[in-house]
Each structure stands twice: as C-alpha cells, then as structure tokens.
Amino acid sequence: MQRMKNLLLVLGGTLDALFLKECYEKMQPHFVVAADGALEKVLAAGIPCNCGMGDFDTVSKDVLCHFEEDQNTKLLSFPPEKDETDAELAVQFAVDQKPDKIWILGATGGRMDHMLGNLELLHIPLTKGIECEIIDQQNRIRLLDGPILLEKMADWKYVSFLSYTDQTQGITLKGFVYNVEKFTLKKGSTRCISNEICDEKAAVSFTNGLLYCIRSRDLR
C-alpha cells in the first residue's frame, strides 16, 4: 500500500466545530476518519469524512443517515460489546492506512477515563514509526521514543515532559529556560512541567524510556 502523507482522526471528546474546521483547513489532510459521535462534529464543521467507524451508540439517527447516503464516506460498524473502545479501533485503523503523520482531535475533555485511555493510544502509532499528535485548543501532545528538535512557537509557550514508562533515563534538555543533563524522570514526577524554549530551537534527548511531550498555552 502506498503511504499517504497525513491523516486526521476525529474522536468524540470536547471539540468546537469552528476549531475543527480551522484545523482541517490548516492541515489539509489526505484522509479523515471519525469515530462514532465524532460524525456529529464533522458534519457540524462542514468537513469531508472518508471513514466513520464505531458502534454508533453516540451519534443521532439523522447524522448517521446523512453519512450512509454520502458515497464518499465509508462506514464500519462494530458491536457495542467489544474489548476495544471506538477510539482504539479508530487509531488502529488510522495506523493501518500507513500515513506519515496522524493528527487526533477530540481526544481530550469530557470523560476522564476516555481521555486517559486516548493518551495511552499514542503508543500504537509510535510502535509503527508513525508520528502522531493529539491536539486541542490548549495542548499538543506527542509520545517520544528518541531525540527531537523543537522549534520555538509563539502560540505554544510552554513545553512539559512526563514519563510514560516507569522512568525515562538520561534526559538532556538544551535551549530551554530550564536545561537538564542526564536526568532521570520518574513516572509521577512533575519536575519537567512548564518549561519554555529560549533559543530558536531546543534539543531533547534521552537514553531509555518513553516520554510525553506536551506543548501548551493559556487561553486568552
């Protein structure tokens, strides 16, 4: 299968229709997937949907009928009683399309159990070498397994790191307001919260473990 450039995955968490539309227009994704109730958000935003999937227990009959009649949208139905959430099925489907990058909107807000579960799902594309980012109006969240260069972004002032694994060893931060060298960050520690990039680019490296990288901002 030829690898597509990027894919937008819309989940059923808190998501403003205008923000979704703005993200779609900026990202220009090659493929859009909506999980269950996210079909409502996609329709409200007026953006196309290539695939809708889930058990469809949180989407209205009218919206579901709309997409059933849309020849450009493929619907994949799953039983309500299953081992995976609709979000996990959607992430796995997105990974199977072999994109270079996946953006996920609607993964945060609402029920805390779903939100925490959605953060865990970042591990699936990571194991396949696919860049994946959860985005909402205040946060951009990635899971890292190796070094990265981060550009300074005026709209995203803060950069935080949390250990996904029990600990992440050998963390070295350069180009930040608060630099560290060969530091071990343990799961549950807030030592690396609310840092800022002071150079044009900042370097992040570590020797072992997995690291959440969260770029955030205050709402005006």
| pLDDT tens-digit readout, 162-174 | 999 999 999 999 9
Average of per-residue pLDDT across 169-187: 98
Q: Please give the structure tokens belonging to residue 10.
A: 């819309």
**Chain segment 132-160, per-residue pLDDT in tens:** 999 999 999 999 999 999 999 999 999 99
Give 213's contacts (C-beta < 8 A, 6+ positions apart).
Answer: 141, 142, 143, 144, 148, 150, 159, 160, 161, 204
Q: What architecture is the 148-216 domain classified under in CATH?
A: Sandwich (2.60)
Average pLDDT over residues 108-126: 96
DSSP 24: H
DSSP class per residue in 40-105? HHHHHHT---SEEEE--SSS-HHHHHHHHS-TT-EEEE--SS-SS-HHHHHHHHHHHT--SEEEEE
- The DSSP result for 169-219, as a single string, is EEEEEESBSS-EEEEEEETT--TTSSEEB-SSEEEEE-SBS-EEEEEE---
> How far is the first Cα of the chain from the last one, in angstroms, to the nearest whole number?
44
Residue boundaries of the structural domains of the chain:
6-137, 148-216
Q: pTM here?
A: 0.94
**Do 56 and 77 meet the contact criterion of CB atoms below 8 Å apart?**
yes
CA R_g for the chain: 18
**CATH architecture assignment, domain 6-137:** 3-Layer(aba) Sandwich (3.40)
Is-contact 11 42, C-beta < 8 A? no
Q: Is the pLDDT of residue 17 over 60?
A: yes
